[in-house]
Amino acid sequence: MVYPYVRESLKGDAQGNFQHTFTIPDVWGVFTLKVNYERFGYSTIALSEVVAVRPYRHDEYPRFLEAAYPYYAGSFSMLVGIFFFSLFFLYQRDK
C-alpha cells in the first residue's frame, strides 16, 4: 500500500451540506472511500463506497495530445524536408 490513508476534512456550507474534492493516488487498484463522522450529541454518519481505479483503455485517450504538438510539427517538417531533398537529389544534373 503506497498511500494507505488519506485523511481530509469536509467543508460545510450555510445549508448544512458537506463536501470535499480530492485526487486519488496514481496507483491502480480498488480503493474504499469511507466517511466516519462522529460528534458528541449528534448521530454518527458512516458511509463506505468501493471505487476501482484503472488505466485508460486504448480508445479512451484523446485523439491528439496538445502537449505533443511540437513533435507533430517536427515529424511533418521532416516529411516536407525529405520530399524536397529527394526532388533535389533526383533532378540534379551531372556535370
For 62-81, what is each residue's pLDDT tens digit? 888 889 999 999 999 999 99
Q: Could you tell me the three cell numbers for 83? A: 520530399
End-to-end CA distance of the chain: 73
The candidate with the shortest Cα–Cα distance to 26, out of 57, 55, 49, is 55
Helix (H) or strand (E) holding 52: strand 45-53
A 10 A CB-CB count for 13 gives 8
CB–CB of 9/35 below 8 Å?
no
- The reported pTM is 0.47
Per-residue pLDDT tens digits for 28-42 = 888 888 888 888 998
